[in-house]
Structure 1
Amino acid sequence: MLALAIVIITAALIFYSIGVWAERIQRTLTWWHAAMFALGLACDLTGTILMTRIAADERADGIAQNAAGAIMAWSGTAAIALMAVHLLWAVVVLLRGRESEKTAFHRFSIVVWAIWLVPYIAGAASAMAG
């Protein structure tokens, strides 16, 4: 189950990064970018659920959670919530259709993406340490 979770979390990184950086390069938010945000969020949520189950099984077996795992758990929850807000705000901006909002949206996207990297990196560190 760990290998599947790693693949899904890595797919989240790929989809989310494509959406964020394509938006930045193209200098305007489009529905295609929002679709990449949604795929990234869906993969991240799925992978996080799998990782949570794995961690619960390990704690049941008496294996303590390391510091990187604790950071990942806390920041991962915050990152998923922020990704959801990011996606919802992207939909609002697209529905409004204001060019000024669509061309400035990338600033928010980059911040959310950078914050999302914290639990991703913490998770990788946790896996390597464990």
Structure 2
Amino acid sequence: MLLSAIITIVLALIFYSWGVWGEKLKGRLTKKFLILFWIGLFFDTTGTTLMSMISEHPQPFHKITGLLAIFLMLIHALWGSVVFIKNNETWIKNFHKFSLFVWLMWLIPFLSGMIFGASAN
């Protein structure tokens, strides 16, 4: 189960980063990037669930920041969906600012998971 958890968390990193940085480089939110946000959220939630099933003593910092990151990713994907559906050009062009913020917040538990996981062995 550990290998599955690691793979899904890495897939979350790939898809979420692709969506966030693709949007930033293109300068606008598109359907493709929105789909990548949702895929990243799916893999992160799946990986986090698997990790929580095998972790006997999760680090409080990692647990709190991980839950916060999933919540922020959900808000991000939902708000991105609203922005895309409303088709407000200003919102579409400026959404990347929120995306980068959420991505940076998501990196905290991603990196702390690697650090705490490596130090547990």
Q: Same fold (TM over 0.5)?
A: yes
C-alpha distance in 1 between matches for 2:19 and 2:93:
14
* Secondary structure class of the residue paired with 2:28: coil
Q: Deviations over 1:27-80 (max 9, x none)?
A: 00011001000000000000000011011xx3xxxxx54xxx321111000000
Report the residue type matching 2:113 in the other structure.
G
- TM-superposed deviation, 1:84: 0.3
Any unmatched runs of 5+ in structure 1? 59-63
Larger Rg: 1
Deviation at 1:3, TM superposition (A): 1.3
Aligned runs of 1:42-53 on 2, under 5 Å?
A: 42-53=42-53
Cα deviation digits, residues 95-117 of structure 1 (max 9, x gap): 11011100000000000000000
Equivalent residue for 1:32? 32
1:120 aligns with 2:110: yes
Q: Does 1:72 align with 2:87?
A: no
Match of 1:88 among 64, 78, 83: 78
Q: Residue 89 of structure 1: CA displacement?
A: 0.3
Please say if 1:18 is aligned against 2:8: no
- Distance in 2, matches of 1:122 and 1:2, equals 17
Aligned amino acid, residue 71 of structure 1: F
TM-score of the two chains, using structure 2 as the length reference: 0.96
Letter in 2 for 1:87: A
- State percent identity of aligned pairs: 41
Q: Which amino acid aligns with 2:2?
A: L
In the aligned structure 2, how far is the partner of 1:125 from the partner of 1:4?
18
Q: Structure 2: 5+ residue runs without aligned partners?
A: none
Give distance in 1, aligned partners of 2:116 and 2:10: 15
